[in-house]
Structure 1
């Protein structure tokens, strides 16, 4: 966790996802919703047959109690949770929804639960960018998998931006740019890791040999490395709007938002 103490910023914000097969979606939805309502939490939990994607906020003890409920289910044990703090809840309501995908790509052969693309951690990526190449001497290409309006708030220096309006456009864009990516080490990245995980798997499926996902996305990079090689802030889908490298809002909150679906 970064920045000031929970006494200065009394709201704990968490974000997490996991690709895991879920077959009891209605029951799970009610269980997690009831646990969140009972603890006064706000935010979004998306459930699909492929897994869970969540972003919640509330009193720190209440958030941690909800996480205890979640991780008591062995399918979610050890789930990696990214934390930040804020002075007020960044969500206005609670949504717990069942979706076709927890992040929509419309490419059913991509199943991250079965095979996860190799990941590069934040400090290793920063070291590669400092050196201008990866450990094998190959040039590194950063590929932003977010939508154009998110990229406009901040991105890695020199990253490829295909000006996506929605993530379902990524497969078609990739098909048109495969040759340009073949002779480099490609690192896909996004806000918290979920989009770049699917993107990296698709690139491997399409025959790119040297592909990594940035483990934990921009938010984990900020937490571990800070601003190095990154310009601007990171757009998030809540009232904080954009976070700086200290995981603090870098301007006044915008309209109420929710997790990208």
Structure 2
């Protein structure tokens, strides 16, 4: 049965002149198409995840492809029964993924792009190391078999790990991967900048690998930045690698702690979910701000007077047809 909504994951490194003004233009485009999600607009390009009705997402992709700056954008498209977001946020930031590597331009030099099938063929060779450039909370729930993972809370910490990686793997073929490919663009380019010679990246990331190569040897689930939280990737030899935060049994059931002050995002098995009333610890279970637990571990974010037109002047508001 076809699902009525699409979820788009994409990025494009492209120079955008007067990017802050383009942010407004792009925001209005999304409003006109009834899209929800998170988009970053920067002088160096676009990075987004949005959801909407299939026909509206098709129009959005057509609009971006028609703009020569974004014609090369590679969209990862998934089906959904509903929106994957509650709000639309289009923000201007200095980078489309926070790395602190503003001097790195992936359009000039970056790791060799591998298709999912090429990545699959190379990843188990003896002279290859598969490097996960994502944060620890992402790879804790899922990662490629035998991948090297990094103890980092944010991607901006990646450059600090390169000397350590150089000592161990400089003479290896390094295959980088991330969720959708965007982090690898700068990670692989920085590795080359730091003296690595054979650097590659999984084009389209884990998501595309699941779509085109069946997800073989990706263990666990892939963390995503929308209401789904984590998605299945492996259709060939799936396994569970994460453990329940409370009891330590194997579990990939990702929940938010019911204590809104904590809101820790961790795996908690269904049994412990009910036992702890949705909390990650006894302290959180007894906290006065603990939310009612309904068995899902998901809590709809407060709208807090959300207005998608906030920040636009009256003239702009009158131009929007929604």
Q: TM-score, normalised by structure 2?
A: 0.72
Q: State how far apart, in whole Å, the 2-side matches of 1:175 and 1:48 are.
A: 29
Ranges in structure 1 where 5+ consecutive residues have no aligned partner = none
Instruction: Please report how far the alpha carbon of residue 58 of structure 1 lies from its aligned counterpart in structure 2 after TM superposition.
Output: 0.5
Q: Which residue of 2 aligns with 1:104?
A: 98
Instruction: Please report how far the alpha carbon of residue 256 of structure 1 lies from its aligned counterpart in structure 2 after TM superposition.
Output: 5.9
Q: Mapping of 1:222-233 within 5 angstroms?
A: 222-233=210-221
The answer to whether the aligner puts 1:162 opposite 2:150 as a matched pair is yes
* Alignment equivalent of 2:115, drawn from 110, 118, 121: 121
Instruction: Please report how far the alpha carbon of residue 253 of structure 1 lies from its aligned counterpart in structure 2 after TM superposition.
Output: 7.9
Partner SS for 1:161: coil
Q: State how far apart, in whole Å, the 1-side matches of 2:299 and 2:131 are.
A: 28
Q: State how far apart, in whole Å, the 1-side matches of 2:167 and 2:39 are.
A: 38
The answer to whether the aligner puts 1:171 opposite 2:162 as a matched pair is no
* C-alpha contact 2:143 2:222 (8 A) present in aligned 1: yes
Instruction: Please report how far the alpha carbon of residue 27 of structure 1 lies from its aligned counterpart in structure 2 after TM superposition.
Output: 2.6
Q: State how far apart, in whole Å, the 2-side matches of 1:80 and 1:241 are.
A: 22
* C-alpha contact 2:133 2:178 (8 A) present in aligned 1: yes
Ranges in structure 2 where 5+ consecutive residues have no aligned partner = 236-251, 254-295, 302-322
* C-alpha contact 2:172 2:198 (8 A) present in aligned 1: yes
Q: Which residue of 1 aligns with 2:287?
A: none
* C-alpha contact 1:241 1:253 (8 A) present in aligned 2: no
Partner SS for 1:113: coil
The answer to whether the aligner puts 1:237 opposite 2:231 as a matched pair is no
The answer to whether the aligner puts 1:139 opposite 2:123 as a matched pair is no
Over 3 Å counting, the alpha-carbon distance change for 1:226 and 1:144 in structure 2 is same
How many correspondences in the alignment? 243
* Alignment equivalent of 1:61, drawn from 55, 60, 69: 55
* C-alpha contact 1:43 1:94 (8 A) present in aligned 2: yes
Instruction: Please report how far the alpha carbon of residue 246 of structure 1 lies from its aligned counterpart in structure 2 after TM superposition.
Output: 6.7
Q: Which residue of 2 aligns with 1:194?
A: 182
Q: Deviations over 1:139-172 (max 9, x none)?
A: 2101111110000110001111112101111001
The answer to whether the aligner puts 1:38 opposite 2:35 as a matched pair is no
Over 3 Å counting, the alpha-carbon distance change for 1:140 and 1:102 in structure 2 is same
Q: Deviations over 1:98-151 (max 9, x none)?
A: 00100011122211122232112111121223xx31xxxx52101111110000
Q: State how far apart, in whole Å, the 1-side matches of 2:207 and 2:156 are.
A: 22
* C-alpha contact 2:129 2:175 (8 A) present in aligned 1: yes
**Which 4+ stretches in 1 moved above 4 angstroms?**
250-253
* C-alpha contact 2:14 2:69 (8 A) present in aligned 1: yes
The answer to whether the aligner puts 1:205 opposite 2:193 as a matched pair is yes
RMSD of aligned residue pairs (Cα, Å): 1.9
Q: Which residue of 2 aligns with 1:151?
A: 139
Higher relative contact order (CA 8 A, sep 6+): 1
Q: State how far apart, in whole Å, the 2-side matches of 1:246 and 1:90 are.
A: 21
Q: State how far apart, in whole Å, the 1-side matches of 2:138 and 2:42 are.
A: 24
* Alignment equivalent of 1:219, drawn from 196, 200, 207: 207
* C-alpha contact 2:139 2:149 (8 A) present in aligned 1: yes
Q: TM-score, normalised by structure 1?
A: 0.88
Q: State how far apart, in whole Å, the 1-side matches of 2:185 and 2:300 are.
A: 27
Q: State the structure with more CA Rg.
A: 2
